[in-house]
Amino acid sequence: MNNWLSPRILVALALAFVGAVFAGQMVGPAERILVVFVSMLIALFVAANPDDHDDAPANVLDSSAANAQQMPALSSHPQLQAFIDASADAILMVENVRVSAANQVALRLLGNNIVGQNVRMAFRHAGAIERLSDPDADHSGHPIRLTGIGQKNQLWDMRIQAMGPAQKIVHLADRSGTQAAEKMRVDFVANASHELLTPLAAIKGFIETLDDPAAGDDAATRSRFLAIMATETNRMQALVRDLMSLSRIEAEKYDPPQTPVDFANIIMETVDHLRNSQKDRGADIAVDITSDLPPVMGDAGQLRQLASNILNNAMKYGRAGTPVSVSLTPSRSGAMINFAVADVGDGIAPEHLPRLTERFYRVDSGRSRLVGGTGLGLSLVKHIVDRHRGHLEIRSTLGKGTTVSILLPVAHS
C-alpha cells in the first residue's frame, strides 16, 4: 500500500484537521496557532510511530479507529510541554480523567500539584468536572463559562477537544477583561441616559408649568423658569459635545498624533481666555512656563481641550481667592514636558483617586452638577493623554488641594 495513504498517516491528517477546526472556533490568533501546533505535533507523533505497518487493513475507517485506540499518551511526547508552555492561556492535557500535563499558566491557576490528579480534585468546579468526566460528552459548540476559579470575579471560557479515546486538550481563556468591558459599556449607556433624562425631565416640568395660564401670566416666574430651562439645555449640549469628543478620541487611540505642536502657546491661550471670561477666578491663575520649550507631538485641538478641562476643574473646585498654579517644565531627561495644575481646596479622599478618570464618576455629584460638570472631563483628559502616549498623575491631600500632572513626549527633530 502507498505510504502516503497508510492508515496511520490518515489518522494523523484527521487529527491535524480536527485541531485546525478547533482552533478556528477560538477567539485569539495566538490560541489558534498554538492549538494547530499541538494538533500537528500529535499528528506527527502518530504518523511517525515505528510500530506502524504498511500492510494495515484496507478499510480506512476501521484501521483509523484501531490506530486511534493505540495512540500513545499525549503527555509522553518530549516536545509537547514546550508547545503548551508557549501559550499565555491555561492549557492542560487530560487522559483517563486525570491531568497528565499542564503549562505554567494552568499550574498557577489550579495549583502546582494538579498533574496526576483526577479532574475532580484539579478543577473543583461542577461544570468542568461533568464535561471532563463524561467520555461521551459533545465538546463542540460554545465554550463552557466558568466562575470561581482563580481570583474573585474572574471569568473563564473552557474549551475541550477530544484527541483520542479518553485523551483531551483543555484550554482556559481568561475573559474577565471582556466581562469588565461589557459591564463598563452597559454602565456607560445607563449613566449617559440618566444624565440626559435628568435635564429633559426638568425642562418638561417647566414647560408644563408655563403652559398653565395662571403661571404664564407671572412674568417673573416665567423668566426664572426660562433661565433654568436654558441652563439645563446648555448642560445637555455640553454633555453631548463631551460624548462626541470622547467617541472621536477613542476612535483615534491607536493613531498617535504626528504633528509638532507648541504646547506652551496653547497653555497661554487657554489661560488668557479664562482670565477674560472668568474675571473673579481668572485673576487667581499663576503661570510658570520654562522658556524655549520644544514642541510636543500632538493634536492641537485635543491639547486645547485637555488644558481647558484641567484648568476649569482647578478653578471650580479650588477655594475662591486661592491661587491656581500652572507650570510647564521639561522633565529630567528632557524627553518629556511636564504640565502641572495645582489648586488649594478641599482635596480628594485617597479611595476616590483611582476612579477619577472613569466616565461619569463624581466625588460629589451635587457639587459637580452645580458647577456645570458633565462627569466626563477627566475621562476625556485620560484618553487624550493615552493617545499622545503620555502619562497622567493625580495627587491630592484632604483639606489642602489637588495637583494634576501630565507628561507629554517632545517632538523629535
Tell me how far apart the alpha carbons of residues 394 and 136 are, in angstroms, rounded to a whole number.
57
Among 338, 334, 316, which Cα is nearest to 326's?
Answer: 338
Find out if CATH 3.40.50.1360 is the number for domain 175-251.
no
**Residue 238 has what pLDDT?**
79
Find out if CATH 3.30.450.20 is the number for domain 3-174.
yes
Q: What is the DSSP string of 198-267?
A: HHHHHHHHHHHHHTSHHHHT-HHHHHHHHHHHHHHHHHHHHHHHHHHHHHHHHHTTTS---SEE-HHHHH
Long-range contacts of 203-212 (CB under 8 A, 24+ apart): 203/229, 203/232, 203/233
**Residue 293 has what pLDDT?**
94
Among 260, 196, 263, 256, which Cα is nearest to 384's?
Answer: 256
C-alpha cell recorded at residue 83? 508547545
Tell me how far apart the alpha carbons of residues 135 and 253 are, in angstroms, rounded to a whole number.
47
Topology of the domain covering 256-413: Heat Shock Protein 90 (3.30.565)
**Residue 52 has what pLDDT?**
46
**Residue 61 has what pLDDT?**
35
Phi/psi at 43 (5° precision): -60, -45
Tell me how far apart the alpha carbons of residues 286 and 215 are, in angstroms, rounded to a whole number.
48
Quick one: angle between helices 263-277 and 300-317, nearest 10?
Answer: 40
> Are 384 and 376 contacting, i.e. CB atoms less than 8 angstroms apart?
no
Mean residue pLDDT across the chain: 77
Residue 19 DSSP one-character state: H
Report the DSSP pairing between strands 98-102 and 90-95: antiparallel
Tell me how far apart the alpha carbons of residues 6 and 9 are, in angstroms, rounded to a whole number.
5
Among 127, 78, 122, 118, which Cα is nearest to 96's?
Answer: 118
C-alpha cell recorded at residue 324? 491656581
**Residue 157 has what pLDDT?**
84
> Is 50 exceeded by the pLDDT of residue 326?
yes
Range from 22-26, 77-81, 195-199, 383-387 that averages highest in pLDDT: 383-387
**Residue 141 has what pLDDT?**
57
Mark 195-228 as b/e (b = at least 16 C-beta within 10 Å): beeebeebbeebeeebeeeeeeeeeebeeebeee
Query: Whole-prediction pTM value?
Result: 0.56
**Residue 156 has what pLDDT?**
82
> Is 70 exceeded by the pLDDT of residue 77?
no
Each domain of the chain, given as residue ranges in start order, spans 3-174, 175-251, 256-413
